[in-house]
Structure 1
Amino acid sequence: MAVPARVLALGAACLVALPPGAAGTALRPAATTPPHASPLAPIGPPRSVAHSGQDDVVALTAPPGALVPPGRPGAPTDRPSTVARAGRPGPNALAGRAGPAAPARLARSGRLAARSCAEPPLVWGNVPRTREYLEAITKCLEKSWSAHFARAGLAFEKPVVRFYEEPEQRVCGVRWPSSASAFYCTERGTLVFLLTGDWIEDRTDLYPLKVAAHEYGHHVQSLTGIRRHYEARIRADHAHHAELGRRYELQADCLSGVFIGSVWGSLSRSGDDWAAVVETTRATGDDDERRSHGKGANRAYWLKRGFTAVSPAACDTWKAAPSRVS
């Protein structure tokens, strides 16, 4: 879950599970660079999620094989190229400067402005372009959220983005989260993406985009102080530790829906594509043994809620009934 100085592996709707035996493989990260504008491409559903207590990392997993969606359905619808350097103000420090009112200001900030986000192919001429795809999507996320923060009068700092061809033994100063293909290092404000695996290779659906938007949602939570408040509540209420963690994860699902809704008009996707990513998200819900991200029905509910409202105000999972965050 989200605990200071530890790694969080998120569930099916956000990250993707690594191929069997991949975890722990020591490899040099693909030269990392700051997020750049590029489109989206094929994706598949998440497989599983695992939480590993070590440093602040939030990871997700996705099941293989997702569909490709087409136009918007229904109404309303560490560090680039290097590891974070010591002394770099992380999102928690930024949240402190933003002040305790930041979460409320985000809630009152209105709709995320409609923007264009070109979704590039994940494969071009039989050559995988997963990195280019993710660079393009993270750039779109940066433009949308930075502009939204500016309008709301909130301080913004873009996250560091790192790419790996294979998982390393350690990342962000901690062990690579088990079975994680995408995650967020909270203390270093870093998004980490594995460029291989079922979650992104040979996909034609919106799942990879949804995963990237979910992880970026965790960055938004850190920048606005939501994560800080979440950690404080966990320390004060151990009995509801698991439920609080699900509220945190489901809010990131909702924020991913807000972003997708804001760029939907520019995506060459159909209602079937949207329905497909919703079902993929539903399939990545918690099972009887894992209760970290919420049941499939609730993950789908919060994703659709954000997509329809296109506003962070719709993502207040902290006041939702327990049945909506189970």
Structure 2
Amino acid sequence: MRWQGGRQSSNVNDRRGMGGGGMAAGGGLGAVVLGLVYFLLTGDSSGLQNAAPGAQPSAESQAGAPTDAASDSMKAFVSTVLASTEDVWTEIFRQQGEAYQQPQLDLFTGRVQSACGQATAAVGPFYCPGDRKVYIDLDFYDQLRKDLGAPGDFAQAYVIAHEVGHHVQTLTGVSQQVNAASRRGGEAEANRLSVMQELQADCYAGVWANHSQQQHKWLEQGDVEEALNAATQIGDDALQKRSQGYVVPESFTHGTSAQRVQWFRTGFESGKAENCNTFESRI
């Protein structure tokens, strides 16, 4: 992925270097995988501890961020990908006669306080509708590569684009409708709606990939396969099989590997957000 030299977003907040960094007690691959099963790449942040709408960053999270070359490069990468999502969704919203409101993206290490509550790195990247921010601990990308078998910069870009997809769902009211319907229904219905919401965010990530490629011509051979492999590795069935050795379909909240791949492809091949209505699809 030839991302170097692209416009960088001004909406990235570097909150790395917070006190008490590292994984929560019991961290490592086991905690990460278990967290991923229920939380990875999700717009539902209701499971965060100490939920407090409007919560402000702690003094610890204001500590100085790392300044080594690798950290600077990763921040530049994230900023460039986020800028591309801004450009793509601004144009898509403009074509619909609407204004796109850009999200913020906070980089953190170890743990972070959001408007949705406190989270640790073990939950993976997440989007909080309460403050309309994406949160990423960059160490997650090492887990994605080493432990989940999904290396590559375009796989990393897919993660960001998926979270921004949840922001789009908040702006369009989809997230609010899903939350309301989930409260009315039982656990099975809430899980079904969660799967549809996650698959739509995958589709939106594909829509972004289509438009960003048209704008930048930055994809290289194997990049799309990196994203598809990441979608495969973080399917509910793959994660459950890896973490507990068996699969419980009724507990799925994000969709199977095959579904996640198919919906990313749908968005990427069509480039049309209107093709991402997972809630009425039989796929």
Q: State the TM-score bracket (shorter-chain normalisation).
A: 0.5 to 0.7
Give the AA of the match of 1:23.
A
- Choose which of 286, 295, 313 in structure 1 pairs with 2:256: 295
Matching residue of 1:149: 93
2:202 aligned with 1:253, yes or no?
yes
| Offset of residue 224 of structure 1 | 0.7
- Of Structure 1 and Structure 2, the greater helix share is in 2
2:136 aligned with 1:193, yes or no?
yes
Assess if the C-alpha contact under 8 Å between 2:210 and 2:269 holds in 1: yes
Assess if the C-alpha contact under 8 Å between 2:236 and 2:252 holds in 1: yes
Question: Within 5 A, what are the aligned runs for 1:95-244?
Answer: 129-164=73-108, 166-168=109-111, 170-176=113-119, 179-197=122-140, 198-199=142-143, 203-238=151-186, 239-244=188-193
Give the AA of the match of 1:133.
F
| Offset of residue 307 of structure 1 | 0.2
| Offset of residue 51 of structure 1 | 3.2
| Offset of residue 177 of structure 1 | 5.3
Which structure 1 residue ranges, 5 or more long, are not aligned?
A: 1-20, 26-45, 60-81, 84-123
In structure 2, C-alpha distance between the alignment counterparts of 1:283 and 1:181, rounded to whole Å = 14
- Choose which of 200, 224, 233 in structure 2 pairs with 1:274: 224
After superposition, what is the alpha-carbon deviation per residue over 1:134-175, rounded to whole angstroms, capped at 9, x for unaligned? 1111111112112221221224221122111x1225333512
In structure 2, C-alpha distance between the alignment counterparts of 1:134 and 1:181, rounded to whole Å = 15
TM-score by length of 1: 0.59
In structure 2, C-alpha distance between the alignment counterparts of 1:125 and 1:178, rounded to whole Å = 22
Matching residue of 2:278: 317
Which structure 2 residue ranges, 5 or more long, are not aligned?
A: 1-21, 27-31, 48-55, 58-67, 238-246
In structure 2, C-alpha distance between the alignment counterparts of 1:242 and 1:201, rounded to whole Å = 28
RMSD over equivalenced CA pairs, Å? 3.1
Decide whether aligned partners of structure 1 residues 129 and 316 sit closer, same or farther in structure 2, where only a CA change above 3 A counts. same
Decide whether aligned partners of structure 1 residues 199 and 137 sit closer, same or farther in structure 2, where only a CA change above 3 A counts. farther
In structure 1, C-alpha distance between the alignment counterparts of 2:46 and 2:91, rounded to whole Å = 24
TM-score by length of 2: 0.68
Decide whether aligned partners of structure 1 residues 213 and 58 sit closer, same or farther in structure 2, where only a CA change above 3 A counts. farther
Decide whether aligned partners of structure 1 residues 137 and 58 sit closer, same or farther in structure 2, where only a CA change above 3 A counts. farther
Decide whether aligned partners of structure 1 residues 191 and 133 sit closer, same or farther in structure 2, where only a CA change above 3 A counts. same
Give the AA of the match of 1:223.
L
Assess if the C-alpha contact under 8 Å between 1:50 and 1:177 holds in 2: no
Matching residue of 2:64: none
Assess if the C-alpha contact under 8 Å between 2:267 and 2:273 holds in 1: yes
In structure 1, C-alpha distance between the alignment counterparts of 2:267 and 2:257, rounded to whole Å = 16
